[in-house]
Structure 1
Amino acid sequence: MSNNNQKTFHIHNLIKKFFIYLSGIIIILIFTLTILFFYYVSSAPKISEDDLSRQNITTIYDNQDRVISRLGIQKIEYAKNNQIPSTLKNAIVSIEDRRFYKHHGIDLVRIFGAAVSNIFGHSSGMQGGSTLTQQLVKLSVFSTADSDRTFKRKAQEAWLAINVERHFTKSQILDFYINKAYMGNGIYGMQTAAQYYYGKDLMELNLSELALLAGMPQSPTYYNPATGNLKYATNRRNEVLNAMVRNKYITQGEAKQASHESITSGLDPNHGNVSSSDPNVKEKFIDSYIKEILDELQAQGYNPYKDGLKVHTNLDLNAQLYLYTAANKLVPFQNNKMQTGIAVINPHNGKIIAMLGGRHTGNIMYGLNRAVQTNRSSGSTAKPIMDYGPAIEYLDWPTFKTVQDNYFTFPGTHTVLYDFDKKYKGAMTMRDALIQSRNVPAIRSLQEVGLKKSTIFLKKLGISQKEPYTLQNGIALYISPLQVAAAYAAFANGGIYYKPYYINSITTQDGKTKRFSPNGKRAMKESTAYMITDMLKGVFSDPEGSGTVAQISGVNQAGKTGTTNYPKDSKKSGVMDSWMVGYTKNYSIAVWTGYDHPFQPGSSISERYTKSSQLLYRAIMKYLDYQNHAQDWVVPNNVQAIKVNNKRQLAIYGSKWANSTENNYNLKPYSNNSNMFSSSPSFRPKENINEHSIKDNQNSFPSSYTSSSTSNSSSTSNSTSERINKPIEQYPNNNNNITVR
């Protein structure tokens, strides 16, 4: 045999071996995939006719397993087969699954075509291989979360689709799909969509309207003719019409005539006959909480409008109802335009038990939630978390540390820092400076501890921003009521920060439950939390405290006020924002009040109504503590009580402050009598907390109101990113004289 023949034979032999090996690999791969397929389908959930026919409404529960919301604003209308026009079925099949009547649940031709299209980019990655039956199965027993898009789920979906095709006719499958599809705006099913969008039943709709409904399930938001993008909606309708022409269900002339019709033609602004009789639908008092639930579900990868979830939340429904009532009916506000944002947190675990995004909001659903806005200055509520907390944590300051209240300009500027009374008090204790909310001592304290350490302290409390903090932030942080409540909760529980959360568990249609549990991290020493708390009690109880209006007899509480005045160059007087944040061992509450557009005429808070935040806080805390009374805080082992100038003060054991006479203080050991460490009464008045008692006590302002507890101002700061589509107005940078409290 010649060399050429030998080479040819050798090459042919290698090719033969290659194909033998390749065939073996393919056979092994097919065998392995087959085994894996049947292994996966062995654990597939069961699917019943009830699963296929019911609408995928996500149900939301409170912390007592009571239904508080169902994501469907309409009454359920199931369209029977004789109520569904054949034109609609033809349109759906044409756009979603043109081989629907030929396959048996899965379409291998469609899957192969989708794979080729995706590989070569012919469909921009949007082409799918799922049949209508598979889509129905997914809507009935699976979630649409990104994490569930696995081979196992696809295998189970295909297996169940085959079984559905064995037990139900094609007409029944289409009926199920038509009644289950999500159609936007909380609408499930195309019969209800016909009423909501056009005020008609399906049998009354024309070709253009039916084509749009058939195409909407792919993206109900974009293709929504009422609130979506009209260009996208028009293109989608025309795409359906062209698909119907290709499948010979309509002529080109019919398609052309329908495509010339305006996409908004025939829309019913009154939304037909879809009013719900469900008392849990559109409840205004839970609106802001539900809005955050929906955002969280989507952030987790779920589609709350398609997945039919059971969501158990941390909401205390009774507390939420009382919160809504107090803000809208019980506590006096300047007018109905004056707004509020409120967050209530359980300090033991970070659970958000109540939240209010606004008052007198009308019929707007899921509107602006002021409880999570981060573009309004917190005023002096910043002082414990940025100034004095870090000073105790890193410098071991005692509560009697001398701080100076004297003339001050911010370094490198001519900006003078004032207090509300435009006076200086000279040397004073840190306790008195915090209780009286003096500005200069707070900023001087921040200078001593340093911005670097204060930034670290804030970050441990869940507060950060992209731009570096400045000294001005020591009396004005741009943070939300939710962030403030979570930060102060760490003082309440002894120094542990819990990231606030809404959802306790999520259960999908296939019965799988994902649970959420607190994961606290130590943010500060227990001694720091206790010493700040001990000082902040005086905000309520001390005659010179800035929050005396919010004092509640028998309640062991600590807290801080915060208000901001208008910049000097704005030529406006009054107050822009008024805050009250307070806590017991069981609850942390932050209240903001102000106007969404503070620079518009009539949008400044008069001195009288700067107290609305305190009254609102007082009403809520009084109600909550009556339900779950909190004991007083216990002094930690490393904190020493000392009598200084006949006043009880605190210091860290072993620090120079506990064992010296620095600054000529008259230091004496404090008695170990437990009463000296606690102001908690041994009893709690058994009063009945209800609307009438609160109204009687609070509809008129207490005579103890004084001008000394109303003034504050904003300072320069860069705000963090905004949370809502239409945010309330941001403060302008202010390089003028600054006054805050």
Structure 2
Amino acid sequence: MSQKDSKDNTRVQRNQGKYKKSRAGKIIKRTILGVLAFVSLMIIIGTGVFAYYASSAPKITYNSLSSDNSTKIYDNSNHVIYRMGAQNRDYVKSKDIPKSLKDAVVSIEDRRFYKHHGVDPIRILGATLTNLHSSDDIAQGGSTLTQQLVKLSVFSTSSKDRTIRRKSQDAWLALQVERKYSKQKILEFYVNKVYMGGNNASVYGMQTASEYYYGKKLNQLSLAQTAMLAGMPQAPVSYNPYNYPKLAKERRDTVLDAMASNNAITAKQANAAKNESIKNGLTNNHKTNDLTNVNEKYVDSYVGKVIQELKSRGYNPQSGLSVHTNLDLSAQKKLYDLANNDNRVGFPNDTMQVGATLVDPKTGAVNAMIGSRKTDIQFGLNRAVQTDRSSGSTAKPLMDYGPALEYLNYPTYQLVHDTPYTYPGTNVQLKDFDYRYQGTITMRKALAESRNIPAIRTLQNVGINNATRFLSSLGMNFNSTLNLQNGIGLYISPEQEAAAYAAFANNGTYHKPYLINRVVTPDNVSHNISSNGVQAMSPSTAFMMNYMLKGVMNLPYGSGTEAKVPGLYEAGKTGTTQYPEGSYQGYLPSYAAMDSWFTGYTPNYSLSVWTGYDHQFQTGNYISAEQTAIAQKIYKYEMQYISQNKPNEDWVKPNDVTSVKSNGLNEYFKNGHQSIQNDSTTNSKFNTSSR
């Protein structure tokens, strides 16, 4: 290659290099400009969204910032029946809050509290980076202490409300709070506002908590005790020093480390406080000046279920809610009185228990509920919702005869066999309460007398799949596959059964039972709750079942005559469960029962009552033949009381149902289905007798 060519090559390579650098520089410049434009656009959009949501933010007032966070529960007449955490708090002014507590709260909750103006971009960025790189299950929050105060004062703490809208609004309101109040006043609000846990009490505010946990004022606490209180608001249940001392100590020590890191205390002071036992100074003589509720036992079970329902819907019961329920206080008081004080009912002792639920068939609203008697514990075992006791023969309309009417189009006078019967695949014979057989009888008579064998034969004809489908339409689903034995005993609760029977009363439309009809959050947003109706069966099936179940109470041979309210249009079913064969062990009479039920209804109400003993195998804890009527009497006197000012109307026969006379009695069939053929005579898993 000549010297000239070499120089030309070098020149070309140099020019190419300059071109590549120039091109790369342009690409970088365009990329930077593009990123800046995108960021600017996002800022503009974000600002617009923030402004839009902030414009609809609720107002925040001095009263909302300074008041307690009590949740109020109302009956259906808008009377307060229970307050969660309402206290005659020892409100502590800023000048009386020890500096050590202020330092502890700021150090653990918001180190830059005195530097920001309500919202802290640096904190938000730090929290975001921490959450991106952290393997911990607990995410770091970007909310300032002021934002936390806003959430406690005007917003629901429900997880479903953690939206961009709410985050924008709490940021906007935090800015407004910072403009109006000093840092010291904001700290004062926070210290008096926060939920601080408690055992059998709802404690709000750190001064109240100091009295509750240590029996003394805030300014009398040690550094370690102060740090413990400052750390509790994040998880007041988990950091309860009585119940979870290890977690409480870990949290207290974290607060002490944060104080040392924030130069509020020295490392030496922190270490000395860490060596103090977490239980040092705790008192068992709790002082709260608690005004938690109206202190009436008769609402205990109902309120307990309301709180469960709140949690299941995503609400924090300790977040200052107004909870409006379906409770009919008059009906509730009457039910409580019947279970605890009315001598007409005839409880043999204070150990025998009760569970009962009253439902409105047209809506599913639970109007009353009682889950215990002769007990003092708050929110104890609620037997109205327990599902570990067999329902006995109250299962027959739900699993046997209801599906037969619906799917097999049986008439009410369908012939069924009450003859010796052995469960298939076993040598176990099914028996009735009287150990007798009646031969061929009508389905209506079999149900009225609560004969077991005809019910199981009917279930066999229906098929387990159809029966399970029918039960599912009535809100009852089971973890294991049902069998023939369940035809005379389902493991369901009085609440489930009252709602299921309510579908018979409501022309076949089922409503899932519910206690809460409206929740108003602290920002005054109202959330209405209702239960949509589901057509569980045809109106003709419901009408024919009503007719048959009237016979349980009206006919001389009916099993539920003790429950009859004179002159009232009603229907219902008895249920008892006997002890398993071989369990007598010489101390149980042959007539002894483990459980006794009665579930009955009118067009206005459905009431299911269970009675029995929690420890049914202990000596003496059985139900005698006479005592099986206790459930019926509770139903009778309750239904008689609540029906006084209600229309007394009978169910109207649908057009597709025809009436005929049979043996001098009215009977019914669905048009086009008049069969009175005998049921299957094949022997059909096993159960003891049930009535």
Q: In the alignment, what sits opposite 1:516? A: 529
Amino acid at match of 2:688: I
Task: State which drifts further: 87-96 or 621-630.
Answer: 621-630
Q: 1:585 aligns with which of 603, 607, 628?
A: 603
Q: 2:672 aligns with which of 644, 654, 659?
A: 654
| Cα deviation, residue 263, structure 1 | 2.1
Percent identity over paired residues: 52
| Cα deviation, residue 544, structure 1 | 1.1
Amino acid at match of 1:648: N
| Cα deviation, residue 613, structure 1 | 0.8
Alpha-carbon distance in 2 for matches of 1:275, 1:440: 57
Evaluate the alpha carbon distance shift between residue 207 and residue 537 of structure 1 in structure 2; reply closer, same or farther with a 3 A threshold: same
> Given that residues 578 and 594 in structure 2 are in contact (C-alpha distance below 8 angstroms), is that contact kept between their aligned partners in structure 1?
yes
Runs of 4+ in 1 over 3 A off after TM superposition: 122-125
Alpha-carbon distance in 2 for matches of 1:629, 1:202: 60
Alpha-carbon distance in 1 for matches of 2:369, 2:127: 46
> Given that residues 196 and 274 in structure 1 are in contact (C-alpha distance below 8 angstroms), is that contact kept between their aligned partners in structure 2?
no
Alignment of 1:307-386 (within 5 A): 307-330=319-342, 331-362=345-376, 364-386=377-399
Evaluate the alpha carbon distance shift between residue 619 and residue 124 of structure 1 in structure 2; reply closer, same or farther with a 3 A threshold: same
Q: In the alignment, what sits opposite 1:673? A: none
| Cα deviation, residue 86, structure 1 | 1.6
Alpha-carbon distance in 2 for matches of 1:472, 1:213: 56
> Given that residues 419 and 437 in structure 2 are in contact (C-alpha distance below 8 angstroms), is that contact kept between their aligned partners in structure 1?
yes
> Given that residues 372 and 481 in structure 1 are in contact (C-alpha distance below 8 angstroms), is that contact kept between their aligned partners in structure 2?
yes
| Cα deviation, residue 662, structure 1 | 6.2
1:538 aligns with 2:554: no
- Compute the TM-score of the two structures, normalised by the length of structure 1: 0.87
Q: 2:229 aligns with which of 213, 222, 229?
A: 213
Evaluate the alpha carbon distance shift between residue 649 and residue 288 of structure 1 in structure 2; reply closer, same or farther with a 3 A threshold: same
1:738 aligns with 2:678: no
Q: 1:13 aligns with which of 26, 31, 34?
A: 26
| Cα deviation, residue 255, structure 1 | 2.3
Task: State which drifts further: 467-476 or 248-257.
Answer: 248-257
Q: In the alignment, what sits opposite 1:256? A: 271
Alpha-carbon distance in 1 for matches of 2:163, 2:240: 30
Q: In the alignment, what sits opposite 1:107? A: 120
| Cα deviation, residue 261, structure 1 | 2.5
Alpha-carbon displacement from aligned partner over 1:485-519 (angstroms, at most 9, x marks no partner): 00000000110000111111111111211111231
**Equivalent position SS for 2:644:** helix
| Cα deviation, residue 225, structure 1 | 1.8
Alpha-carbon displacement from aligned partner over 1:20-78 (angstroms, at most 9, x marks no partner): 11111111111111122112111111111111101111111111111111111643331
RMSD value over aligned CA atoms?
Answer: 1.6
| Higher Rg of the two aligned structures | 2
Alpha-carbon distance in 2 for matches of 1:273, 1:646: 70
Evaluate the alpha carbon distance shift between residue 474 and residue 111 of structure 1 in structure 2; reply closer, same or farther with a 3 A threshold: same
Evaluate the alpha carbon distance shift between residue 202 and residue 281 of structure 1 in structure 2; reply closer, same or farther with a 3 A threshold: farther
Amino acid at match of 1:222: S
Task: State which drifts further: 67-76 or 151-160.
Answer: 67-76
Alpha-carbon distance in 1 for matches of 2:673, 2:240: 67
> Given that residues 73 and 282 in structure 1 are in contact (C-alpha distance below 8 angstroms), is that contact kept between their aligned partners in structure 2?
no
> What are structure 2's unaligned runs of at least 5 residues?
1-11, 679-684
Evaluate the alpha carbon distance shift between residue 122 and residue 419 of structure 1 in structure 2; reply closer, same or farther with a 3 A threshold: closer
| Cα deviation, residue 402, structure 1 | 0.6
Alpha-carbon displacement from aligned partner over 1:71-109 (angstroms, at most 9, x marks no partner): 116433312223322211111111111111111111111
Amino acid at match of 1:739: S
Q: In the alignment, what sits opposite 2:149? A: 136
Alpha-carbon distance in 1 for matches of 2:371, 2:677: 49
Count of aligned pairs = 662
Alpha-carbon distance in 2 for matches of 1:281, 1:543: 45
1:489 aligns with 2:502: yes
**Equivalent position SS for 1:564:** strand
Q: In the alignment, what sits opposite 1:640? A: 658
| Cα deviation, residue 456, structure 1 | 0.9
> Given that residues 211 and 287 in structure 2 are in contact (C-alpha distance below 8 angstroms), is that contact kept between their aligned partners in structure 1?
yes
Task: State which drifts further: 373-382 or 329-338.
Answer: 329-338
Alpha-carbon distance in 2 for matches of 1:662, 1:241: 82
> Given that residues 577 and 688 in structure 2 are in contact (C-alpha distance below 8 angstroms), is that contact kept between their aligned partners in structure 1?
no
> Given that residues 200 and 272 in structure 1 are in contact (C-alpha distance below 8 angstroms), is that contact kept between their aligned partners in structure 2?
no
Alignment of 1:161-240 (within 5 A): 161-185=174-198, 186-226=202-242, 228-240=243-255
Q: In the alignment, what sits opposite 2:593? A: 575
Q: In the alignment, what sits opposite 1:610? A: 628
Evaluate the alpha carbon distance shift between residue 471 and residue 124 of structure 1 in structure 2; reply closer, same or farther with a 3 A threshold: closer
1:560 aligns with 2:510: no
Q: In the alignment, what sits opposite 2:91? A: 78
Alpha-carbon distance in 2 for matches of 1:29, 1:662: 76
> Given that residues 399 and 467 in structure 2 are in contact (C-alpha distance below 8 angstroms), is that contact kept between their aligned partners in structure 1?
yes
Alignment of 1:41-120 (within 5 A): 41-72=54-85, 74-120=87-133
> Given that residues 578 and 593 in structure 2 are in contact (C-alpha distance below 8 angstroms), is that contact kept between their aligned partners in structure 1?
yes
Alpha-carbon distance in 2 for matches of 1:166, 1:656: 81
Alpha-carbon distance in 2 for matches of 1:83, 1:357: 46
**Equivalent position SS for 1:301:** coil
| Cα deviation, residue 367, structure 1 | 1.4
Alpha-carbon distance in 2 for matches of 1:73, 1:159: 28
Alpha-carbon displacement from aligned partner over 1:622-660 (angstroms, at most 9, x marks no partner): 111113243111222111111112222111122233xxx
Amino acid at match of 1:609: Q
| Cα deviation, residue 401, structure 1 | 0.8
Task: State which drifts further: 296-305 or 249-258.
Answer: 249-258
| Cα deviation, residue 275, structure 1 | 3.9
| Cα deviation, residue 266, structure 1 | 2.2
Task: State which drifts further: 72-81 or 335-344.
Answer: 72-81
Q: In the alignment, what sits opposite 1:667? A: none
> What are structure 1's unaligned runs of at least 5 residues?
664-715, 717-734
> Given that residues 199 and 273 in structure 1 are in contact (C-alpha distance below 8 angstroms), is that contact kept between their aligned partners in structure 2?
no
> Given that residues 68 and 87 in structure 2 are in contact (C-alpha distance below 8 angstroms), is that contact kept between their aligned partners in structure 1?
no
Alpha-carbon distance in 1 for matches of 2:135, 2:478: 43
Task: State which drifts further: 567-576 or 149-158.
Answer: 567-576
- Compute the TM-score of the two structures, normalised by the length of structure 2: 0.93
Alpha-carbon distance in 2 for matches of 1:662, 1:235: 74
Q: 1:304 aligns with which of 286, 306, 317?
A: 317
Amino acid at match of 1:97: D
Evaluate the alpha carbon distance shift between residue 541 and residue 216 of structure 1 in structure 2; reply closer, same or farther with a 3 A threshold: same
